[in-house]
Amino acid sequence: MVQERTLPKFNTATAQITKEEGLQLYEDMVLGRTFEDKCAEMYYRGKMFGFVHLYNGQEAVSSGIIQGAMRPGEDFVCSTYRDHVHALSAGVPPKEVMAELFGKATGCSKGRGGSMHMFSAQHRLLGGYAFVAEGIPVAAGAAFQTKYRREMMGDASADQVTACFFGDGACNNGQFFETLNMASLWKLPILFVVENNKWAIGMAHDRATSQPEIYKKASVFDMVGVEVDGMDILAVRQVAQEAVARARAGEGPTLIEALTYRFRGHSLADPDELRAKEEKEFWFSRDPIKKFAAYLTEQNLVSQEEIKAIDKKIEQLIDEAVKFADSSPEPDPNELYRFVFAEDE
């Protein structure tokens, strides 16, 4: 079937968004899409190695939550092996993300993380995690330290929120259930964000779980569970803002299920032959970037010229990132064992 669940309705007429906010969100989504397209090009040119998982199609989730509702650089973000765009939304410079993909010393993880293990302490990016559901307990740890510092150590500045991103396949793993239980008991300031793109590698979501509507699983943990159209950045933004407000107020975690779709195969090594043409076409027609650009112009918030200017700006930024990555040095072999353990300041 092309679509088995009705996408949640969102009244865009009620959306409160300024021109500046609209341009910011649009630019962040275009940055993610353009970056990933360039990654595909560089991968096939032999500039990147190993598995590379792209985020095309899911941009409204990353931008809507991190840029639309959180404080990038202050709040924490925990990702998966599909982590490039989460890193960009969190504020990691494109040139550092690209250099990391090239395995260069100037990368955000000094060339040691590669595509699936982006990390940046400076930008509060807790890492990309290759094992499914591996990052969920790590994110809970970050949320716990925020709560502990505030309530036990009297640090009034400790009001950070953690966003933990993972896919539908992770929701069948033990870490998901154990961590959501603890987060609810301790009322941790965390958003559990399920990017349900309908496919866990090659396994269709509805065939792999006894309850396909993941957000309903929140009820057994006495937690707020919300379903949202993950192709609509304004809908994602509103849901995220409400969840962040609850978290900062000490009201505990939220489970957000964003119904989205990846426009490419599972990785760049995936021929993508399992998904039906009709299913792909249905979701392609809901491209979140095109949809938001149309909204901005229809509401007279921005002009076509401003949209084109952003597109051109981002293309130049990505070209510069490639040049930076290509010209950067390889990691020094003499530092092979460095960063295994913490270093003195």
CB 292 within 8 A of CB 17: no
One digit per residue, the tens of pLDDT, for the chain of length 345 reads 444 677 788 877 677 899 999 999 999 999 999 999 999 999 999 999 899 999 999 999 999 999 999 999 999 999 999 999 999 999 999 999 999 999 999 999 999 999 999 999 999 999 999 999 999 999 999 999 999 999 999 999 999 999 999 999 999 999 999 999 999 999 999 999 999 999 999 999 999 999 999 999 999 999 999 999 999 999 999 999 999 999 999 999 999 999 999 999 999 999 999 999 999 999 999 999 999 999 999 999 999 999 999 999 999 999 999 999 999 999 999 998 998 888 876
CB 265 within 8 A of CB 254: no
61, burial (CB in 10 Å: exposed 0-12, middle 13-18, buried 19+): buried
- Please tell us whether the domain made up of 17-298 is placed in CATH 3.40.50.970: yes
Q: Which of 202, 138, 193, 205 is nearest to 1 (CA)?
A: 205
Q: Cα separation of 93 and 242, whole Å?
A: 28
122, burial (CB in 10 Å: exposed 0-12, middle 13-18, buried 19+): exposed
- What is the DSSP annotation of 101-148? HTT-TTSTTTTSS-TT---BTTTTB----SSTTTHHHHHHHHHHHHHH
Q: Cα separation of 230 and 64, whole Å?
A: 9
* Residue at token pair 């330290």: 145
Q: Can you give the residue ranges of every domain in the chain?
A: 17-298
pLDDT of residue 3: 47
Under 8 Å CB-to-CB from 308, ≥6 apart: which residues?
Answer: none
* Residue at token pair 């930008």: 123
pLDDT of residue 4: 61
8, burial (CB in 10 Å: exposed 0-12, middle 13-18, buried 19+): middle
